[in-house]
């Protein structure tokens, strides 16, 4: 039993090291309040992402998408996805992300942050 | 037994170094991840492997050690079949030990209703325990098959207002079923269990990044209960246990540790415990598992990222 599990997991860990991508952390931080508008919203994930099928959007309190729709996955750090935003007035914002890991596992999620006047 | 425990520990120890970050699989509904828990069958019909689950009750008349294994395979989108069995070791005080396998257990489950924005899922299914397939050495041996139609549900607390946002990581899962014995003389019973969970990953990812470090941020404290209420006229009262514990979510496996506190004297005289390793086979072997045998799972992917 021990030998079987050891071999199975050793092989799996070495050759199949991909899984679902979940949010690790973000900038602005999840649930945070920031002074002044950020210029970009960044989200780091637990796996490398497939750029063609991953996206991140930012919505204002009325539900209108306000990001610049220039989503990109960082070429040097494929676990980092970002999108630019215009100068955001004070208010609450919702980030919606959809991540496809390089092994095609698909996950989605949301979080919010607030902006106050600088 | 010792070898099995060692094997499980080694298996997870090997996966931990390859898992610098948390990744969970299986049941998501909206932002909510509903982990498989040891005593409350989760409402998701997805590929799962539980190996082993070890339950120890040291203070019953026969000190009991159970080692269980279960495998679930999604056959059609949102419909899965499960096979399980348990190796039971009884050590009666003053008597010889008794060992053997329990009857084979089967389960069929279908995800009937999902509302991702409300983190809600409702499923239906049935357990089948095949009479005559267990070890005759065990006192619980029975020739009679048991059918247990079940309902399953899960609900997250995501709708709580901002003033109560730190309660949003709470979620509840439950199962209720009714044992129907093929033998009319046997006592039918209502089986009901549930779990109340507080997900630290949910807090960090969806409510507020409180800067909680790993491995704490990968943990889900919970309380489970598992009850049996016989329905025959001369039946004993409800028996069961309350089980506080914690789950740890790794990249390829989940480890659960729970205490088992008897509900009353009929349930047992002292505290026991259980340990479970849940292996995320769809992450380990994505080309083999994580897909229904027949049909497309695209619609399931959009609402529950369990593939």
B6 touches A at CB < 8 Å: yes
The full DSSP string for B81-110 is EEEEEEEEEEEETTS--EEEEPPPEEEEEE
A94 in a domain, yes or no?
Answer: yes
pLDDT by residue (tens digit) across A90-117? 999 999 999 988 777 788 999 999 999 8
Cα-only R_g, chain B: 19
Q: Which domain holds residue B44?
A: 2-303
- The answer to whether residue A13 sits within a structural domain is no
Subunit contact A106:B14, Cβ cutoff 8 A? no
CB B150 within 8 A of CB B127: yes
Which domain, by its residues, includes A72? Answer: 19-116
Tally of structural domains, chain B: 1
Instruction: Note whether A110 contacts B201, CB cutoff 8 Å.
Output: no
The helix (H) or strand (E) run that includes residue B12 is helix B2-15
Residue of A nearest to B214 (CA): A24
Hey, is the C-beta of B14 within 8 angstroms of any chain A C-beta?
yes
If pLDDT is split at 50, 70 and 90, which confidence band does A13 have?
very low
Q: Could you please report the per-residue DSSP string of A67-93?
A: S-S--EE-SS-TTEEEEE---PPSEEE
* Residues of chain B neighbouring A46 (CB-CB closer than 8 A): 21-23
CB B307 within 8 A of CB B296: no
B251/A103 touch (CB, cutoff 8 Å), yes or no: no
Residue A1 lies in a domain: no
Mean of pLDDT values over B280-287: 75
Contact (Cβ atoms closer than 8 angstroms) between residue B179 and residue B196: no
- The answer to whether the CB of B199 falls within 8 A of the CB of B220 is yes
Interchain CB distance below 8 Å, A21 and B23 = yes
B165, B286, B301 member nearest A103 (Cβ): B286
Q: In what order do the strands lie in the sheet with A80-84?
A: A23-27, A40-45, A80-84, A72-73
**Chain-chain contact of B286 with A2 (C-beta, under 8 angstroms):** no
Q: Chain A within 8 Å of B31 (Cβ-Cβ)?
A: yes
Give, rounded to a whole angstrom, the gap between the first and last alpha carbons of chain B. 33
Q: Which residues pair with B272 in a beta bridge?
A: B260
Q: Provide the b/e sequence for A65-96 (b: ≥16 CB within 10 Å).
A: ebbeeebebeeeebbbbbbebeebeeeebebe
Rounding to the nearest 10 degrees, give the CA dihedral for residues A23, A29, A33, A37: -100
pLDDT in tens, B101-158: 999 999 999 999 999 999 999 999 999 999 889 888 887 777 788 899 999 999 999 9
Domain assignment of residue A25, yes or no: yes
Please tell me which residue of chain A has the smallest CA distance to B207. A31
Q: What does the DSSP 8-state code read for residue B207?
A: I
DSSP state of A8: H
Q: What is the CATH number of the domain that holds B73?
A: 2.40.160.40
User: Cβ contact (<8 Å) for B28 and A107?
Assistant: yes
Query: Residue B23: which of A31, A32, A47 has the nearest Cβ?
Result: A47
The answer to whether position A6 is within a domain reads: no
Name the minimum distance, in Å, from the CA of B238 to any CA of chain A.
Answer: 38
Residue B109 β-bridge partners:
B80, B125
CATH number of the domain encompassing residue A25: 2.60.40.1220
d(CA B126, CA B148): 5
Q: Which residue carries 């079923």 as its tokens?
A: B177
Cα dist from B153 to B44, B178, B189, B219, B258, whole Å: 9, 16, 20, 22, 21
pLDDT in tens, B29-87: 999 999 989 899 999 998 888 877 887 776 555 677 888 888 999 999 999 999 999 99
Task: Find out whether the peptide bond into B52 is cis, omega within 30 degrees of 0.
Answer: yes
Half-sphere exposure of B127 (CA within 13 A, CB side): 23
A15 touches chain B (CB under 8 A): no
This model's pTM is above 0.90:
no
Q: How many residues does chain A have?
A: 118
Q: Specify the number of domains making up chain A.
A: 1
> Which tokens is A40 given?
């970009």
Mutate: best of B28, B161, B205, partner A, most A CBs <10 A: B205
**Measured between alpha carbons, how far is B158 from B126 in angstroms, rounded to an integer?**
29
Maximum mean pLDDT: which of A10-24, B113-127, B256-270: B113-127
Residues 43-72, chain A, touching B (beta carbon < 8 A): 46-47
């Amino acid at each position: 039993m021990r030998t079987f599990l050891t071999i199975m997991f050793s092989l799996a860990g070495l050759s199949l090291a991909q899984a679902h991508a979940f949010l690790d952390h973000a900038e602005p931080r999840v649930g945070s309040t920031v002074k002044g508008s950020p210029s970009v919203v960044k989200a780091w994930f637990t796996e490398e992402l497939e750029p063609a099928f991953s996206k991140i959007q930012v919505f204002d309190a009325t539900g209108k998408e306000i990001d610049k729709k220039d989503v990109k996955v960082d070429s040097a750090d494929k676990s980092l996805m970002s999108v630019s935003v215009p100068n955001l007035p004070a208010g609450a914002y919702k980030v919606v992300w959809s991540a496809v890991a390089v092994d095609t596992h698909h996950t989605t999620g949301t979080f919010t942050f607030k902006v106050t006047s600088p | 037994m010792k070898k099995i425990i060692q094997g499980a520990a080694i298996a997870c120890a090997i996966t931990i170094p390859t898992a610098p970050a948390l990744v969970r699989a299986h049941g998501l509904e909206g932002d909510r991840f509903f982990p498989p828990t040891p005593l409350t069958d989760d409402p998701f019909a997805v590929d799962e492997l539980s190996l082993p689950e070890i339950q120890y009750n040291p203070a019953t008349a026969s000190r009991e050690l159970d080692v269980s294994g279960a495998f679930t395979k999604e056959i059609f989108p949102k419909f899965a079949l499960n096979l399980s069995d348990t190796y039971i070791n009884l050590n009666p005080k003053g008597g010889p030990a008794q060992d053997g396998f329990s009857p084979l257990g089967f389960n069929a489950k279908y995800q009937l209703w999902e509302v991702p924005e409300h983190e809600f899922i409702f499923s239906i299914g049935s357990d089948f325990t095949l009479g005559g397939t267990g070890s005759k050495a065990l006192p619980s041996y029975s020739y009679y098959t048991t059918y247990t139609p079940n309902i399953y549900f899960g609900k997250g607390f995501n709708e709580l207002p901002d003033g109560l946002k730190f309660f949003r990581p709470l979620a509840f899962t439950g199962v209720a079923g009714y044992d129907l014995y093929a033998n009319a003389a046997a006592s039918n019973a209502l089986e009901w269990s549930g779990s109340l969970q507080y997900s630290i990953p949910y807090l960090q990812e969806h409510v507020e990044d409180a800067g909680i470090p790993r491995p704490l941020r990968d943990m889900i404290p919970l309380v489970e209960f598992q009850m049996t209420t016989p329905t025959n006229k001369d039946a004993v009262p409800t028996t069961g246990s309350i089980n506080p514990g914690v789950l740890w979510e790794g990249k390829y496996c989940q480890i659960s540790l729970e205490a088992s506190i008897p509900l009353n004297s009929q349930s047992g005289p002292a505290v026991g415990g259980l340990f479970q390793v849940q292996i995320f086979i769809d992450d380990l072997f994505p080309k083999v598992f994580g897909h229904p045998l027949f049909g497309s799972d695209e619609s399931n992917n959009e609402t529950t990222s369990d593939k």
